[in-house]
Amino acid sequence: MFVMGIDPGRDKCGLAVLSTAGDIKFQRVVATDELADVIKTLSAQFELSTVILGDGTTHKSAAQKLSDAGLTFQLVDEKHTTEEARRLYWKKNPPTGWRRFLPTSMQVPPEPVDALVAEILVRRFLEMST
């Protein structure tokens, strides 16, 4: 069984599919206009037990796309997930060169962290479920 997390956004969405044991099976940032197709592909590829949808920007549009794909979802609070995702980014990708001397709290990751937000949403759900 797998859990999919979605961090919906105006232009892009973060997606993550994790096993119920917490192993990452899929993680990517996709354009919002591609979300419906990606959701359909992932739901066919993985046996999803739950879909977690962040309550942030454009969540109503993402909720409609999930419903259109025949998936039910749980809406969850996204409060502080972007800050947590930035910390997680630097934990997974420690700065190198001269950047390693700057506190990561003063640096901005060089790529979107939306997929990490989706991972965090799923991990929060899995922690609450156990």
- How much of the chain exceeds pLDDT 90, in percent? 93
Residue 83 has pLDDT above 80, yes or no: yes
| CATH number for the domain that contains residue 15 | 3.30.420.140
Residue 48 lies in a domain: yes
Average pLDDT over residues 55-77: 91
Q: pTM higher than 0.75 for the full model?
A: yes
Residue 6 lies in a domain: yes
- Which residues touch 71 (CB under 8 Å, ≥6 apart)? 39, 43, 48, 51
**Where is 39: in which H helix or E strand?**
helix 35-45
Q: Which pLDDT does position 46 carry in this prediction?
A: 95
Say how many domains are in the chain: 1
Average pLDDT over residues 49-66: 92
pLDDT in tens, 25-46: 999 999 999 999 999 999 999 9
Residue 73 has pLDDT above 90, yes or no: yes
Residue 57 has pLDDT above 80, yes or no: no
Q: Which domain holds residue 73?
A: 2-80+112-129
